[in-house]
Structure 1
Amino acid sequence: MTSTFSVNCLLVAALVFGMPTVAAAKPNTYPGEHSAFSSDPAETAKREAERAKRKEERKKRREEQRRKRSIKKNDRLN
């Protein structure tokens, strides 16, 4: 009796190789349509600056939340 694993492998291989390539993977959009990638240095610098700004804003919000929690905790202890 053959192992279940080998039967499963054969079944998967039959499905993969027996399926036409058009039916196997048909993208709904053309490649790069929604991609943020741009090789333009100005665009790259702008994107990185926006990312750094968001990162800094998140850091400030987290620090503010920590400060508020600390104050709240200290108020309960007193």
Structure 2
Amino acid sequence: MDSPSPNKPSVPESSSPDVSAAVEDLLNTLSNKFASVSSEIFAKMDDMSRRLENLEAALQAGKDKEASKS
């Protein structure tokens, strides 16, 4: 009775290193893509923060100018 064990896949052991290498490569690729997207998001958030600060400064300058006219 040489039926495959339910706990072990019926894949030849010679393909196991190939699968492991493919999974490792996929994980590395996903990790690199995640790091790239993450850094892009942080760069865009920094840019948005600078733009908001400039907008706030311009609004405050406009308020100060209006207050000095009154």
**What TM-score do the two structures reach when normalised by structure 2?**
0.55
* 1:12-56 CA-partner distances (Å, limit 9, x unpaired): xxxxxxxxxxxxxxxxxx3256xxxxx721111111000000111
Give the one of 39, 43, 58 matched to 1:67.
Answer: 43
State the identity as a percent.
Answer: 16
Structure (1 or 2) with the larger CA radius of gyration: 2
The equivalent of 2:18 in structure 1 is: 42
Cα-Cα RMSD:
2.0
Equivalent-residue separation in structure 2 for 1:56 and 1:77 (angstroms): 32
Structure having the larger proportion of residues in helix:
2
Structure 2 residue runs of 5 or longer lacking an equivalent are 1-5, 10-14, 55-70
Structure 1 residue runs of 5 or longer lacking an equivalent are 1-29, 34-38
**What TM-score do the two structures reach when normalised by structure 1?**
0.50
